[in-house]
Chain A
Amino acid sequence: MDPGLLAQHVFNGLMLGVIYALVAVGFTLFFGVLDVIKFSHGDVVMLGAFTALAVSVGLTGGGVTSSPLVLAAMLVAAIASMALVGALLARLLVLPLRRAPAINVLLITLMAGTVIREGVRLFYPQGSNPKPFPRLLPGGSSELGAFTLRHDSAILFAVGVLAIVGVHLVLTRTRLGLAIRAVAQDPETASAMGIPFTATVLATFAIGSALAALAGVVNGLYYSEISFNLGLLLGAIGFSAAVIGGLGNVYGAILGGFLFAALQTIGAVALPFASAYKDVFAFAVVIVVMAIRPAGLLAERSAERV
C-alpha cells in the first residue's frame, strides 16, 4: 500500500481511537468504584454534543461571532452539565440499586439512556434528523504525498490525548485520585480510613461524564454532524473497549479504545468483500476476544472466592 495512504488510515484510526478511549475510560472508572456498568454513558456523550450545539446556536443567534469564544462556551457548558447529569444518574439510579443484582443496574441505565435519547429526539427542535455541527476550528490542511492532515483533526487529536493524560494525572497525583483508587480497591477499608464513599463515587461519575461530554464535542467537530442515536453505537463501542481492556483498568480501556478503532480501520481497509462489514468484523472480533480472554486483555486472573 502507498505509505501516504497507509499514514492516512493510521491517523484516521488514531482519531477514532481517541474518541473511543475517552468514552471507554468512563465505563471503566464507574466499574472501578461501583462494579457496575452504566450503559447510559453513550447517551451522555450524545447529550453533551447536543448541549454544545444548543449553546453554539444560542450564542451565534445572539450575535457572538468569535469562534474561540463560542467554542469555549460550548465546551464549558457541555462538560459542566454532563458532569452534573452523570452525578445525578449515579445518585438517583445507580446508588439506590447497590444491593440489587448487578444486571438491574445495567438495565436501569440502559433505560436511562433510552430516556435521554428519546428526550433529545422528541424535544430538541427537529431532533430526529441529523444536525450539522458547527466547524469552529481553523480549516486548512497539510499535504504529505497521499496523506492529508487536516489541522482541525490534529487539534482534536491533541485535545483528546491531553484529556487522557489529564485523567491519568488526576488519578495518580491528586487526593481525589487517591480516594477513587482506594474506593475501587476496597470500599470498606476506604470508608474505614475516612474516605467519604458517596462523595467519591459521585465525583467519579462526574469526571467520567465530563470526559463523555468532551468526547461528544470532539466527535461533533470531527464529523461536523451529530444525531440523537449516536450514543447507542458509541456506548456499545466504549463498553466493548473497556471490556477488551479489562473492566476497572484505565489503561486497559485506553488500549481497548485504540484496538477497537484499529479493528474498524483494518476491517474497512483490508476486508476483500466490502468495507461496509467493518462493524460486523469489529464486534465479531470482540466476541472472539471475550471467548479467549473472558476477563479482558489486561485483567489479572482472579477467581471468585468460595
Chain B
Amino acid sequence: MTSSVWPALAALVVSAVGVLALLLAEKQWAVIAIIIAAGAAMFLARRFDWNERIRRSGAANSRKVFLAAMVLVVGAAFVMREHNFALLMLCTVMLMMVAGLGLTLQFGQAGVVNFAGAAFFGIGAYAAAVFATKTALPHLLVILAGGFFAALIGSVLVLPLLRTRGHYTALITIAFGILFKTFLEVNDALGGPQGLKVPGFVLFGHAFNDPIEIDEETEWSFYLAYAGLSLLLVAAAYAFVRRLERSWIGLAFDAVRIDETAASAFGVNVAAWKIAAFSIGNFLIGVAGAAYAMMTGFVAPTSFTFGDSLILVSIVILGGLGSALGLIPAALVVVVLPEKLQAIQEYRFLLFALLVIVILLVRPGGLLPRALRDYRVGAPR
C-alpha cells in the first residue's frame, strides 16, 4: 500500500508556519496565543486520528518530506533575514539537534549513558577556538576538528565505560563532566574562567560575521550564513543517524542496549559497538560545539556545566529516547520557549526539570516515541 505524501507535508507546513510565527512573535500575548494554538492543533490531531496518518505518510515518503523540511527551513530563514535574534535561535535549535543526535545515538540507541554531553560540546568549542586562532586550518575542517577532538578525548573514558555497567557508568561520565569544567576554570592556557574568543566562520573568503549587504538600504543578518551552515550540519547529521538506525548497524546498537548477554550469544562484539556509538556520538556533539562557538564568538567554562549536560539529556528524553524525529520539537521547546516567554525565563531550569519528571512518569516514550525499525526507507511495501 502506498501512502500519499500530503498528510505529512501538510503537517510539516503547519508546524513550520507555527515555529516561524513563534520565532518572530514579539508581544507576550502573541507568544502565548501561538503556544495555545499549538496545543489545540495537537489535541485536534489526536481527536481526529490524524497522527497515525501523518506518521504513515511521512514514513512512506521520508525522502520527499526530508527535502521539503529543508526547503521550509531555508524559506523560514529568508523570512527572518533581518531579525538577528530569531535567526540566532533557529541556529541554536539546529545545533542543539546535532548534539542531541549524537546523544541519541549513544544513549537512546546503543545505551551508552553520557551525562557529560556539555563537556564534549565544550571540547568541540574549545578545539574550534584554538584551531581557528592558532592555525590556518580552513574553517570547515576546524569544525570537523572539534568533533574529532571530542571523540578523541572521549576515548580516554572508553576503558572505564566498557568495564562498568549502569550506575557505575553514569558516575564516570558525571565525574568527567565535573572534572572537565573544573579543569577549564583553573587552566590558564585556555583562558581560565574568562574563556577564549573565537573567530567567526570564514568560507571561501566570505566572513560569516559580516552582515550581508544587498544594497544601500537593505542589510541582511549575518546569522543567515550561520543558518545555512547549521542547516547543512543538522541535515547531514540527521540523515546519517537515521540511516544508521535503519541498518544492521542500528540493530546491533539496539541489541547492545537491550540485552548484552543475548547480543554476545549471537556473536555481537558488544565492546566494539559501544565504542563506535560513543565515539560517533561525541563527534557529533563536538561538531555542534565547534559551530556554536564560532557563531557566538566566545567560549567559557560556565556554558559547559553539569546543568547544561542535563539540559541536553532533557532534550533527548523529551523527544523520546532513541527518536531522532522527536529531537525537533524537544529542541524547540527547550531552546525557544524560555527565550520567548519572559515569564518563564527565570524559571526555565525548574520548569524543564518538572517537565522531564512528568514525561518520565506518564509518557516515558517522549513527545514523538521512536517507532519500530523500518529498514526500507521510502521503498514501497
Contacts and interface: CB of A to CB of B under 8 A. Distances in A.
**Chains A and B touch (C-beta atoms under 8 A apart):** yes
Interface of A: 31, 37, 93, 96-97, 100, 102-104, 106-108, 110-112, 114-115, 118-119, 122, 232-233, 236, 239-240, 243, 247, 274, 276-277, 279-280, 283-284, 286-288, 290-291, 294-296, 304, 306
A206 B213 CA distance: 65
A152 B261 CA distance: 54
25 contacts: A31-B167, A102-B167, A103-B113, A104-B364, A106-B167, A107-B317, A107-B360, A108-B360, A111-B310, A111-B353, A111-B360, A114-B352, A233-B178, A236-B174, A236-B306, A243-B167, A277-B183, A277-B186, A280-B179, A287-B176, A287-B179, A290-B168, A290-B172, A291-B159, A291-B160
A107 B350 contact: no
A114 B182 contact: no
Contact of B261 (A236, A280, A306): A306
Nearest to B354: A115
A172 B207 CA distance: 70
A102 B361 CA distance: 13
B163 interface: yes
A35 to B, nearest CB: 9
Nearest to B165: A294
Chain A, interface SS category: helix
Interface in B157-192: 157, 159-160, 163-168, 170-172, 174-176, 178-179, 182-183, 185-186
B166 A287 contact: no
B353 A280 contact: no
B328 to A, nearest CB: 21
Contacts of B306: 232, 236
B307 A280 contact: no
B175 A286 contact: yes
A294 B165 CA distance: 8
Given A111-B356, A114-B349, A122-B346, A276 B171 contact: no
A260 to B, nearest CB: 11
A99 to B, nearest CB: 11
B179 A103 contact: no
B48 interface: no
Interface residues of B, number: 41
Contacts of A236: 174-175, 178, 306
B356 A283 contact: no
A301 B174 CA distance: 24
Given A114-B349, A274-B186, A290 B166 contact: no
Most-contacted residue by chain B among A31, A287, A295, A304 (CB, 10 A): A287
Contacts of B295: none
B152 interface: no
Contacts of A296: 168
B145 interface: no
A281 B185 CA distance: 14
Given A115-B353, A232-B306, A247-B167, A276 B186 contact: yes
Contacts of B185: 276
B224 to A, nearest CB: 35
A102 B166 contact: yes
A96 B182 CA distance: 36
B347 interface: yes
B183 A118 contact: no
> Which interface residue of B178, B185, B310 has the most chain A CB atoms within 10 A?
B178
Given A118-B350, A290-B160, A110 B310 contact: yes
Contact of B160 (A37, A111, A287): A287
Nearest to A115: B353
Given A97-B360, A108-B357, A240-B175, A37 B350 contact: no
